[in-house]
Amino acid sequence: MPVCYTTGVTNQSIRPLLRFAPSPTGHLHLGHALSAFENERWAKAAGGRLLLRIEDIDTTRCRPEFVAALLEDLAWLGLPFEPSPRRQSEHFDDYRQALDSLAGMGLLYRSYASRAEIAAAIDRPGHPRDPDGTPLYPRAALARADDPAGRDPAEPFALRLDMTAALAKAGPLAPALSWQEQAAPRGAGSEAIPAAPERWGDVVLARKEFPASYHLAVVVDDALQGITHVVRGRDLYQATGLHRLLQALLGLPEPIYHHHGLLLGPDGEKLSKSARSTSLRALRADGVTPADIKGMAVMG
């Protein structure tokens, strides 16, 4: 059955719908609690609903025991998620349809290059990087490696977005593409942030190991679930520019965005799932209560 999207920008008259979307690649920590509580605060203030989405598309890193643990941790925190969270691993067809649609517009290409070939092709000082620090894909240098001619049909490949073609397809929209960043759930206006998706280069939209990337799955899910407000960490701020391009190409609605600050560890880095000290279950085992966690996680 074809996926049916609502087109056009966010309809402010519909009931706000928010989601907290953790990836079960480890145990939830204080940073996740902050994001979940921020979503709860926004949903309450806007009189909206709150969904949980389990972003387990990366089947190489996500584990069922982390899903069970995160459900337990969130129940312990007492967050009012609606029942039956969406699990990305159960919706691969939806991502496939979005990929087919982009492929139909001639915006994807097969990429066979190995990590070693990519590393060799970018091995020069000053090679440009995307906002996450990943070197931009050197398509021209890897044209031979990516040539499907002579490849075994069974050989796995990634699908990359042809950014130049995508910007041309988005046409007059592309230079003006922006997102609405809202500072507070009520009483604050929003600011238009230029999207600048070209900074991401030819991003991977489907990996060799699994059928969609985070960037593709998140825009498809936000649209299919009718999410009106995306409240998430500042680490995803720049990625929103790429998400806006994908939304424009796929004719998906545009949510309002709020990127909250991040809790940093003593080293000044974002908290990590492998650091036991801030994991919610370790804190719980030490006798910390959900109210204490809320106190620790609230943004100043």
- Please give the Cα distance from 40 to 79 (Å, whole number): 7
Segment near ligand GLU (CB under 6 A); pick from 18-26, 37-45, 126-134, 259-267: 18-26
Under rule CB under 6 A, residue 67 binds ligand GLU: no
**Which two tokens mark 130?**
């995307």
- Please give the Cα distance from 195 to 180 (Å, whole number): 10
The structure tokens 């091995």 sit at 123
Under rule CB under 6 A, residue 21 binds ligand GLU: yes
- Please give the Cα distance from 103 to 135 (Å, whole number): 24
Closest distance of CB 287 from ligand GLU, Å: 27
DSSP element (H, E) containing 194: strand 190-194
- Please give the Cα distance from 50 to 136 (Å, whole number): 36
Under rule CB under 6 A, residue 254 binds ligand GLU: no
Closest distance of CB 254 from ligand GLU, Å: 14
Among 17, 23, 27, 217, binds ligand GLU (CB under 6 A): 23
Nearer Cβ to ligand GLU, position 202 or 221? Answer: 221
Among 38, 40, 55, 56, binds ligand GLU (CB under 6 A): 55
Segment near ligand GLU (CB under 6 A); pick from 16-24, 71-79, 148-156, 177-185: 16-24
Rg (CA), the chain: 20
Segment near ligand GLU (CB under 6 A); pick from 19-27, 115-123, 197-205, 250-258: 19-27
Nearer Cβ to ligand GLU, position 232 or 244? Answer: 232
Residues 219-248 that bind ligand GLU (CB under 6 A): 232, 236
Under rule CB under 6 A, residue 218 binds ligand GLU: yes
Please give the size of the binding site for ligand GLU, defined by CB under 6 A: 7
- Please give the Cα distance from 166 to 177 (Å, whole number): 13
Asked if 65 and 32 count as a contact pair (C-beta separation under 8 A), the reply is no
Asked if 252 and 223 count as a contact pair (C-beta separation under 8 A), the reply is yes
Nearer Cβ to ligand GLU, position 38 or 146? Answer: 38
Identify the CA nearest to 108 among candidates 156, 179, 169, 149.
169
Asked if 216 and 246 count as a contact pair (C-beta separation under 8 A), the reply is yes
Under rule CB under 6 A, residue 70 binds ligand GLU: no
Residues of this chain that bind ligand GLU (CB under 6 A): 21-23, 55, 218, 232, 236
